[in-house]
Structure 1
Amino acid sequence: MLLTALFIGGFTLWYTNGLVEIIKQDEHRKMEIWAEAIRVLTVSDGSESAPMMNLINKVIAENRTIPVILIDHAGQVLSYNNLDAGRENDVQYLMKELEAMKHHGDHIFIDLGEGEIQYLYYRDSVLLQQLKWFPMVQMLVVAVFIIVAYMVFSGTRKAEQDQVWVGMAKETAHQLGTPTSSLLAWVDLLKMKQVEPDLVGEMAKDVERLRIITDRFSKIGTQGDMQMLVLSQTIGATLDYLKKRTSSQVHFHLNEGDACYQAFINPVLFEWVIENLCKNALDAMGGKGDITISLSDHKQFVCIDVKDTGKGIPRHRFKTVFQPGYTTKKRGWGLGLTLVKRIVEQYHKGKIFVASSQPGEGSTFRILLRKG
């Protein structure tokens, strides 16, 4: 579509420029005839026949489109035609038009004999000026058409992608729902059988986590329950869960800042965001290092920085990491950060991006949420 539009625009520009040049030459010939008529009329001694004089006057009167100014050798305006009808008696206006014609128009030298000369200055007719702009207007219309078509196409494609995401999430939640319910029942049965409490307790936590994951998938595609919550509490709960299930060589830090930052969030989905970012950091660090989450004020936003000491991200990959399918793991799907971006930007109306990263020094992902 773009190539077609460029071809149409280029062809129109070439064709119109050809027409402009033809009309320009035609107007120049008309001005030469007009100048000759002025010369004959000026030097006439009355011996010409009446039909000849009528023809000369008709030639002069027939110029109804090309702006002209006739001056003598001293620069005094002798006559003019096709200028602004309401300002023709304005001397300053005439001088301004004359200067414009000298710089941007053309002129014809009229030799009246005996050392007397006149100059005929003229510029392009209104029709010719409009014709010069026509390709630009047409290309602008084509550009607007392309932009509108692209926006419609992008909107349709995005809507289809959303439907695929929602459908996949709902189906995943449905498939996980039944076995999760069965596992919860088995945990209750083990408690009744008085199996080792610590073992059953940890199992219950993992099954509950599985239920939460199922709930997360079920909330994709819905507006969800947005609540005004203290961010440090929600983030802290997620870090507490991760600490128990990661290596002792991984150290989590939460810098809450000086203020008690609050925002409207869906706690289930926002915990998923923090968990995905931390797991992404764990993979980048190879199971050891530091993960630091810092809260700070950023104008009308609350800023949440998730920093790790992993292998880092090349600068040219800062945006690519959020695209579906991007992963550095052999068995990864490359959907974690894509889900994170969708949850932050579509459900929480916030922003997420790679704030900084250096290969071998770690990365910092930044989330911006509107203050509550």
Structure 2
Amino acid sequence: MLKSFDIYNQNNILKIIVAVNLLLVGTASLLFTNRIINKLEQREMQYVQLYAKALGYVIQQADKLEDVNFVVTDIIQTNGANAVPTIYVDEHNEPAQHRNIDFPANLTDTEKHDFLKDQVKLMRADHYPIPVNMENGKLGLIYYSNSQLLRQLNYFPYALLAILGALSILAYLSFSSSRRAEQNRVWVGLAKETAHQLGTPLSSLLAWVDYMRTDPDHYEPEVTDEIEKDIKRLETITARFSSIGSIPTLKDENLDEVVTQFTDYLARRISTKVKMSVESNLPATLTVRINRLLFEWVIENICKNAVDAMAGVGELRLRMLPLPHDEVAIDITDTGKGMSKANMAKVFTAGFSTKKRGWGLGLTLAKRIVEEYHNGRLFVKSSELGKGTTFRIVLKREPGMLPEVAVPRKKRPSLLTLRGPKKAA
């Protein structure tokens, strides 16, 4: 056990290390990407400023320059401004020139003019315009937006965060899966070792029962028979522990018979102040595919939790009824202290318990037996503080119509008073 807990602590440490590394990598990448984006924005602004100066120079010296295209196009293109969308607006606030603007197809000249005006409004929201000094003290403005490369880089941090988030989820699932697998190995090993250790005292107890029956001075039939039943019960428990970790064999069993026989046994071993009753709305011959040993374990765990919730005083009712979609249900209701909504959400969690004793595994194992081995469902149907709780087990049955049960069969398990100390749950 110590080894397993060390493994859990190591997994927690590894989770922290992975989380810290992912946080560091993510932070460093975001800072580095932000730095690159800022530098590119500065460079593109410098390109546009150079373009504005060149354009102003061309306008002022248009009569003296022989090749205006060489100044505006060739020089600016070599400095990278060809990648930046720009729109030159003259002194009348009208678009006069544009570069790297993608127009929708099949636009007329008027529509293109209106499109450029709309683009100017969008560009104005992104960047301050760059002034163009013209002759006679007039000013034009160049509006611009980010290049395609810079726009793509702006989305990079979000993509990086998504990748890191996915890696974090994968790492968490991987560690959680390994931890659950290790827990399963520990519990399977513990269960099988428990079954092995129970074998020797059981054999000895059987020998003592045989001895009591052959000794007329100590033979009391009722007591001896009940002791033998308890020994057989321990053998059943041993068989249960031995089967943990293996795929159980399911057989067609009479559900009414399984539940009533087991509750008859259980009623004699819980507090006499708990009134137990069984009601069946199922046909007497209805069978379901279950593993009887494991299914009785489920009933036992739920009933014993109910007795604990009632502090040994109250009423415990079991009701079997048909459901739609070829299902049957077993409702187990107690008159105990009930549960809060928070506890209802955690009641099947391994290790959770409101009792001072116990490991909080009974209901966890019960849920696993029902859902994983019997393809059924186990859940808290209802609970109210101070009034009690109802657990529901749902199982599949053979498809087809069920005959109606005119009068529900009700039974209160018989109680047998034993000599000697009373056995408590």
TM beyond 0.5: yes
- SS of aligned partner of 1:246: coil
- What residue in structure 1 maps to residue 243 of structure 2? 219
Give runs of aligned pairs for residues 233-312 of structure 1, distance below 5 A.
233-257=257-281, 263-295=288-320, 297=323, 302-312=328-338
Residue of structure 2 aligned with 1:17, choices 25, 34, 42:
34
CA spacing shift, 1:288–1:75, aligned 2, 3 Å:
same
Residue of structure 2 aligned with 1:99, choices 118, 121, 134:
118
- Quick check: 1:286–1:310 contact (8 Å CA) kept in 2? yes
Give runs of aligned pairs for residues 1-372 of structure 1, distance below 5 A.
1-48=18-65, 54-62=70-78, 63-71=81-89, 78-84=96-102, 87=104, 90=107, 99-100=118-119, 102-103=121-122, 104-106=125-127, 107-110=129-132, 112-113=134-135, 118-188=140-210, 190-191=212-213, 195-257=219-281, 263-295=288-320, 297=323, 302-370=328-396
Report deviation, 1:118. Answer: 5.0
For 1:101 and 1:232, the matched residues in 2 are separated by: 81
CA spacing shift, 1:57–1:200, aligned 2, 3 Å:
closer
CA spacing shift, 1:322–1:45, aligned 2, 3 Å:
closer
CA spacing shift, 1:96–1:269, aligned 2, 3 Å:
farther
For 2:116 and 2:332, the matched residues in 1 are separated by: 66
CA spacing shift, 1:25–1:294, aligned 2, 3 Å:
farther
Report deviation, 1:354. Answer: 3.5
CA spacing shift, 1:146–1:97, aligned 2, 3 Å:
farther
Report deviation, 1:43. Answer: 4.5
Q: Which stretch shifts more, 270-279 or 248-257? A: 248-257
**Could you tell me which amino acid in structure 1 is paired with residue 87 of structure 2?**
I
Report deviation, 1:80. Answer: 3.3
Provide, for residues 52-89 of structure 1, a one-character-per-residue CA deviation record: whole Å limited to 9, x for no partner.
8733332343423212234556776544333449x576
- Quick check: 1:285–1:309 contact (8 Å CA) kept in 2? yes
For 2:371 and 2:280, the matched residues in 1 are separated by: 23
Q: Which runs of 5+ in 1 are unaligned?
A: none
- SS of aligned partner of 1:360: coil
For 1:231 and 1:94, the matched residues in 2 are separated by: 82
For 1:188 and 1:267, the matched residues in 2 are separated by: 28
CA spacing shift, 1:74–1:300, aligned 2, 3 Å:
farther
**Could you tell me which amino acid in structure 2 is paired with residue 143 of structure 1?**
G
Q: Which stretch shifts more, 235-244 or 38-47? A: 38-47
CA spacing shift, 1:136–1:369, aligned 2, 3 Å:
farther
For 2:200 and 2:113, the matched residues in 1 are separated by: 89
**Could you tell me which amino acid in structure 1 is paired with residue 43 of structure 2?**
D
- Quick check: 1:69–1:98 contact (8 Å CA) kept in 2? no
Report deviation, 1:15. Answer: 3.4
For 1:21 and 1:176, the matched residues in 2 are separated by: 73
Report deviation, 1:13. Answer: 2.3
Q: TM-score, normalised by structure 1?
A: 0.83
Count how many residue pairs are aligned between Structure 1 and Structure 2: 370
For 1:300 and 1:184, the matched residues in 2 are separated by: 43
**Could you tell me which amino acid in structure 2 is paired with residue 249 of structure 1?**
K
- SS of aligned partner of 2:177: helix
Report deviation, 1:180. Answer: 2.1
Q: Which stretch shifts more, 218-227 or 8-17? A: 8-17
- Quick check: 2:95–2:116 contact (8 Å CA) kept in 1? no
Provide, for residues 112-170 of structure 1, a one-character-per-residue CA deviation record: whole Å limited to 9, x for no partner.
45697655332111111122122222222222222111111111111110011110110
**Could you tell me which amino acid in structure 1 is paired with residue 118 of structure 2?**
E
Q: Which stretch shifts more, 157-166 or 9-18? A: 9-18
CA spacing shift, 1:174–1:5, aligned 2, 3 Å:
same
CA spacing shift, 1:14–1:255, aligned 2, 3 Å:
farther
- Quick check: 2:53–2:133 contact (8 Å CA) kept in 1? no
CA spacing shift, 1:55–1:363, aligned 2, 3 Å:
same
Please give the root-mean-square deviation of Cα atoms over the aligned residues, in Å. Answer: 3.4
CA spacing shift, 1:41–1:300, aligned 2, 3 Å:
farther
- Quick check: 2:256–2:282 contact (8 Å CA) kept in 1? no
Q: Which runs of 5+ in 2 are unaligned?
A: 1-17, 399-425
For 1:100 and 1:351, the matched residues in 2 are separated by: 60
Q: Which stretch shifts more, 95-104 or 332-341? A: 95-104
